[in-house]
Amino acid sequence: MTAEDLVMVIDKAHFVVKLHSNLLEVDLKEGVRKHIEDFVEANPALRETLGTLFQFAIPLDVPLKDIQSVKLDDKGRVKVIIPHRRDLTIPLEREDAQKLIDKLNELIPIEKEREVERIMTDAAARREEAERRGEEDFMTRDHPSMQR
């Protein structure tokens, strides 16, 4: 992530929350878990294979397109609901929590729309490539609703 896409930073005693235009980062500042987090984030293959296991011990970065919803829980913490992953709970003061929630609720729909556009563009490119090769597109062959 670059500094240009950085939208918000909330710096706390033990962690830093960085909101980018397409990613939510929660980075620890110190301790053994910080070293594990650095190691996992530096190794994408390890992150993909063992990320589910590590998410219970350390916060991993979350693409905004993967976030289902964001809310304030009963204790005033930010609760990030992520399907197929452990939800992320970020302990912030109420003012910072509300700012983060508002900004996330603004950015998440934009990223979800970008993802839909990317998927549609990729599907169109695959369809064009199949037509160029003279093959029937697997999507149109198998799904009548996808036929043109």
- Asked whether residue 7 carries a pLDDT value surpassing 80, the answer given is yes
Average model confidence (pLDDT) for the chain? Answer: 80
Domain membership of residue 65 as a residue range: 3-112
> Taken in order 26, 21, 79, 44, is the CA torsion positive or negative?
negative
Q: Is 102 contained in some domain?
A: yes
Transcribe 49-104 into DSSP letters: HHHHHHTTTSPPPEEGGG--EEEE-TTS-EEEE-TTSPPEEE---HHHHHHHHHHH
> 3-class SS at 125?
helix
CA dihedral 15, 19, 25, 28 (to 10 degrees): -10
How many structural domains does the chain have? 1
Q: Is 119 contained in some domain?
A: no
Q: Is 146 contained in some domain?
A: no
Q: What is the pLDDT of residue 84?
A: 82
Could you read off the pLDDT of 83-92 as tens digits, one per residue? 888 888 899 9
Q: Is 78 contained in some domain?
A: yes
139 or 36: which leads in pLDDT:
36
Q: Tell me, what CATH number does 30's domain have?
A: 2.30.29.30
Could you read off the pLDDT of 8-22 as tens digits, one per residue? 999 998 889 999 999
Q: Is 128 contained in some domain?
A: no
